[in-house]
Structures are given as C-alpha cells and as structure tokens.
A and B are shown apart, each in its own frame.
Chain A
Amino acid sequence: SQQGEEDPQALSIQEGENATMNCSYKTSINNLQWYRQNSGRGLVHLILIRSNEREKHSGRLRVTLDTSKKSSSLLITASRAADTASYFCATLSTGANSKLTFGKGITLSVRP
C-alpha cells in the first residue's frame, strides 16, 4: 500500500488562484518531500520538511506538516500556467533501511 497518498487526484484552477494539495501517510517519518513533474520529464525537488518542523516556505510555495495527523499540505500561491504539472509527496519513514516512498501524484492544471 502507498505510504504517501495525495489528495485530490486532480485539481484545476484559474491563473492567480492558490492551489492546495494534501498528502497523508501511515507511518512515522524522518522527513517529507514534495516534487514536481512536468509532462515527459523527470521529477524536480521542491521542498523538504523534517519531522520536527511544522512549516516551510520557498518562494510561492508553503508546506505544512502535522505529524499528529500524519499529513502535509503544499500551497502554491498566485498560481501560473507554468505551475501546471504533477506533484508528488515522498516520505522517508523512520527505522533502518527505510526508503523514500512516493505517492501517485496530483495533477494540477492552471488555466491561463
């Protein structure tokens, strides 16, 4: 079963609006990462948040982490057409030999 599950599966918004994407996971984590994937391309790392952090910002991106609810959200403010992509959360569980586990992704479409 997936460790990280994103919600919603697909999101369509108008340029200028904010986009909020959520990720839930099942086990205790060391960190959680968000990646973006443009069509036909590899994944690009966006932001990493550690288990002892609650919020991080990077440009127009804001990530929150609630370890009590085992969930994270990625907020993209003032969206642009260029933000159209798939977004993945990836979690690194605690414990030996843990690996980065990716969710199935959220497809974001930003209409110009």
Chain B
Amino acid sequence: GAGVSQSPSNKVTEKGKDVELRCDPISGHTALYWYRQSLGQGLEFLIYFQGNSAPDKSGLPSDRFSAERTGGSVSTLTIQRTQQEDSAVYLCASSLASSWGREQYFGPGTRLTVT
C-alpha cells in the first residue's frame, strides 16, 4: 500500500518568508509525528498528533512553528518568518497505535533551505 508521503520534496525560501510543509500519513494510522533532522544530527522531535486529542507541541523550537492535522489525516507544518537555522530536513512519520512504543513509518522528508 501507499506509504507516508510528503510535499514538497525540496523547498528553497528566502529568510523571513513563511513555508508550509505537507504530510499524508498511511491511511488508518492514528498517530502522526513531525521531526527535524539537521546535517549529521539525529532526529529532533517537533510535534505529535494522536487521534482527536490535543497535540503534543512540546518539541516545537519557537512560536514561529505550528502544525495542524485536519480530519485526522493530512498534516501541515508551518514555519513563519523563516530563519537560516530552520534549514534542515523535516520528516513526518505515522503509526498505527497511540503508543510511542510502536514502530513508526517515515516519509521521504522535505529538505528546507533558507537563504
């Protein structure tokens, strides 16, 4: 079946502009996660959605970052007034169960470059 998809695959933007990154999780997966991966680094947790519960936003690095998940499916990560330090690969993952203990299925990521 179809895996997790993300769009765009690459995004180059000027400092100060807003960007929107999209994630389509695997159908039926109730949990959705956003991570950020900087060059040579591990994954940094950003935000977690589980069903209709309030999202866990504890990983968002600043109030310029926000995310929503409509209808329990597609999610959009928005970065306002982008800065050069926002340049990274943004990865989305989904999983079947609400528990963090289950395996996560990752999308290919969006490479964001802020110039």
Chain A residues within CB distance 8 Å of chain B = 2, 4, 30-31, 33, 35, 40-45, 48, 88, 90, 92, 97-105
Asked if residues A30 and B101 are in contact (CB atoms below 8 Å), the reply is: yes
Asked if residues B40 and A104 are in contact (CB atoms below 8 Å), the reply is: yes
Q: How far is the CB of B44 from chain A (nearest CB, A)?
A: 8
Q: How far is the CB of A47 from chain B (nearest CB, A)?
A: 9
**Which of A41, A92, A101 is close to B108, meaning CB atoms less than 8 Å apart?**
A41
Asked if residues B45 and A45 are in contact (CB atoms below 8 Å), the reply is: no
With contacts A88-B42, A99-B45, A103-B42 taken as known, whether A42 is within 8 angstroms of B100 at the C-beta atoms is no
Q: How far is the CB of A98 from chain B (nearest CB, A)?
A: 7
Residues of A within 8 A of B4 (CB): 42
Q: A42-B109, A44-B106 are in contact. List 14 more A-B contacts (CB 8 A).
A: A40-B108, A41-B108, A42-B4, A42-B107, A43-B43, A43-B104, A48-B103, A88-B43, A97-B56, A99-B56, A102-B43, A104-B40, A104-B41, A104-B42
Residues of A within 8 A of B79 (CB): none
State in angstroms the CA–CA spacing of A33 and B103 once bound together: 8
